[in-house]
Amino acid sequence: MNTLHQKINVERIMQRIDKLAECSSTDYGVTRLSFTKESEAAAELVSQWMRDAGMSVRRDQLNNLIGRYEGKHSDAPVLIIGSHLDSVVHAGKYDGILGVISGIEVVQTLFENGVQPDTPIEVVAFCDEEGARFHTTLLGSRAMAGSLRDEDFEAEDEKGTTLASSIRELGLDPSAYRLAARDPKTIKGYIELHIEQGPVLEQLDQACGVVVGIAGASRYEFRVEGSAGHAGTVPMALRKDALVGASEMIQAIERITLQYENVVATVGKLTVTPGASNVIPGTVKGTLDIRSIEDEQRHEALKLIVEECERISQRQGLSCYFYKIMESSAVSCSNSFMNVISTVLEMHDIIPFEIVSGAGHDAMAMAAIAEIGMIFVRCKEGISHHPAEEVTGEDMQKAASVLLDTVVKLTASID
């Protein structure tokens, strides 16, 4: 445990989280889409809190908010603590925000103790991670990592406003986005604290855990084709029922996935056509989402699933097609950061359980330019992206203290 006189002020964290939750376009839950007046109001508050914590504040070309706390060696590579300011529609109060506010609290605690770290620290509030408005995820962190592309700016929201014009409305020049990219040589590492968004920590009865990596993901659409027909006149033996085939395929997807310890697969959406109670289903369209921390296992499971679905459709006289929508590789957290976080968790009497993140985070994009480390915080029943999202004050206190001690170790803030 550090020897700092002033400790993490959890009341301040909770007040700030409540205050940010007011920056919402809906009364039910928090809705704070990027490049809107709600996100600007949130950025205004966060800027002020960053200044209160002894940081200088700037915005980069994509409207990421960056607070900098100077180190003894101002030209040394910087440790970045970050997460995002935007939310999905009808979200909870903690997703993204907890990481930003905890980062500010860590710096404010150092500041109030009069501690200057060896290396500089930056707290980054990324402008858009969820992609709820433009369906382009990790916008802010991809800009910083240099992986945004010109075509990303053509994305439109539901009113037809492009990302480029929404950035222009804020007085920024979208064509300057490449200037937001950071040189990997100037970054010591990236640390993100985030709610778990799953039930594992609650089941383990631990406030926090150390993240080993972010799962890679494949998303496919599939189509099963049979023959529509009258529900009363076509005998069972002569039917080509696409939904019966799809049901068997979904069972097979679960069976195959269960053979792998580290793979999860979900069929989350089905559309049955024609979709009438007295018509045999002629076509079924569905989605397959498959994730794993081990890319090889994900590819292998996917191959078996496609082969088995083809066998099933052949046996039932159906046709089956898979179309890839997106694919992302798994990202590993840095071993040295994981070791530091695990040591700090033990110092706080928390068992350092290793958790895989099944959800994407800004750390995923930042991994392209920096070593990354992530700390997960328990959330009630694993609920997220919903107004019922909840983190206890006690857990927030522990999590922010773990983040503080991790940052102290990584930046040599105290001898």
205 torsion bin: left (phi>0), alpha (psi -120 to 50), beta (else): left
Which lies closer to Zn ion via its Cβ, residue 21 or residue 288?
A: 21
Residues 6+ apart with CB under 8 A from 54: 69, 107, 108, 110, 111
Least Å distance between CB 127 and Zn ion?
13
Residues 6+ apart with CB under 8 A from 300: 260
What DSSP element (H or E) covers 342?
helix 335-347
Least Å distance between CB 139 and Zn ion?
13
What DSSP element (H or E) covers 242?
helix 242-258
Least Å distance between CB 141 and Zn ion?
11
Least Å distance between CB 360 and Zn ion?
8
Least Å distance between CB 169 and Zn ion?
25
Which lies closer to Zn ion via its Cβ, residue 138 or residue 404?
A: 138
Which lies closer to Zn ion via its Cβ, residue 96 or residue 103?
A: 96
- With 0-12 CB in 10 A as exposed, 13-18 as middle and 19+ as buried, what is 223? middle
Helix (H, G, I), strand (E, B) or coil at 125: strand
Whole-angstrom distance, CA of residue 219 vs CA of residue 302: 10
Least Å distance between CB 66 and Zn ion?
18
* Binding interface with Zn ion (CB under 5 A): 95-96
Which lies closer to Zn ion via its Cβ, residue 96 or residue 281?
A: 96
For the chain, give the number of residues: 415
Which lies closer to Zn ion via its Cβ, residue 60 or residue 95?
A: 95
Which lies closer to Zn ion via its Cβ, residue 192 or residue 241?
A: 192
The CA R_g of the chain, rounded to the nearest whole Å, is 24
Least Å distance between CB 379 and Zn ion?
11
Least Å distance between CB 83 and Zn ion?
6
In this structure, what is the dihedral angle of CA atoms 193, 16, 55, 188, given to the nearest 10 degrees?
A: 0
Least Å distance between CB 373 and Zn ion?
16
Which lies closer to Zn ion via its Cβ, residue 263 or residue 364?
A: 364
Number of alpha carbons in the 13 Å side-chain half-sphere of residue 44: 10
Q: Measuring CA to CA, how many Å separate 257 from each of 301, 314, 354, 360?
A: 6, 21, 21, 20
Which lies closer to Zn ion via its Cβ, residue 362 or residue 405?
A: 362
Which lies closer to Zn ion via its Cβ, residue 95 or residue 395?
A: 95
Residue 145 near residue 368 (C-beta atoms within 8 A): yes
Residue 41 near residue 363 (C-beta atoms within 8 A): no
Whole-angstrom distance, CA of residue 291 vs CA of residue 326: 12
Which lies closer to Zn ion via its Cβ, residue 246 or residue 365?
A: 365
Q: Measuring CA to CA, how many Å separate 68 from each of 20, 96, 126?
A: 21, 19, 14
> DSSP state, 378?
-
Least Å distance between CB 144 and Zn ion?
16
